[in-house]
Amino acid sequence: MLAEPIQITTAPYNPLPAGSGNGLAAFYYALLLLLAGFTGAMIVSSLVDAQLGFAPAEFGPWYIYNPSVHVSRFHTLVVKWVIMIIVGIVVSGLYLAISTFLDMPVTRPATLFAYGAFAIAAVGITATSIMAAFGTAGLIINLILFIILGVPSSGGTVPLEGQPPFFGWLANFEPLHQVFIGVRAILFYDARYDSGLLHAFWMTVFGVVTGLVVGTVATRVYDRKGFHRKVPDVSAE
């Protein structure tokens, strides 16, 4: 007792639940949501364009070129938006089922499902709008916006306070950071609005509105200017 009069015991104030990956579950779940919207937008865009005859479709050795359908750029984009909403609902449900199967702690499954579907749809709508506005270059823009700049500025693995100020500035509008804040609030803070969920919700709404505006304006302008998506008729002599 004289040698060690005080015994110090160190314990976490609010220990993380088992199965949360030391807190990284929120980051990886948010990353999966973003990838579902990002890659889903590319797949949906390619499949819709192939089905409408605007681009070829390849299935193994088969090369298919459907007859071109007289559909405006705007209505084609609307079809992609609707499909991305359906994809968001389906994939969010699959993510939640897989998380439950893997014993990841989810205290608010309904909230996580709803926000996950919303986030996937928001990213998908924005990504398809960018591709509709910039064409093939939109793939590179989406890659830079959602992945290259999004991952380091997410704050999910390294706090933004420990990174260069540039990444903190990117976090103000980068989609992955907003989705991460929302998922973290749902998983670890009982989905309280003041824990970041409300901020994440409104930023996701802002992303959806931005995507809708960009896609609508770009495709409407292209349609009115006569930049129709027509496949030239090639006849062999």
pLDDT digits over 175-226, tens only? 999 999 999 999 999 999 899 999 999 999 999 999 999 999 999 999 998 8
For the chain, give every domain's residue range.
Answer: 30-57+74-224
Q: What is the pTM of this model?
A: 0.88
Would you state the structure tokens that stand for residue 101, as one six-digit string? Answer: 């199967």
For the chain, the residue count is: 237
- What confidence score (pLDDT) does residue 14 get? 77
Q: Which residues of the chain are under the pLDDT cut of 50?
A: 234-237
User: Dihedral through CA 86, CA 108, CA 182, CA 31, nearest 10?
Assistant: -60
| Four-residue CA torsion sign, 212, 218, 221, 223 | negative
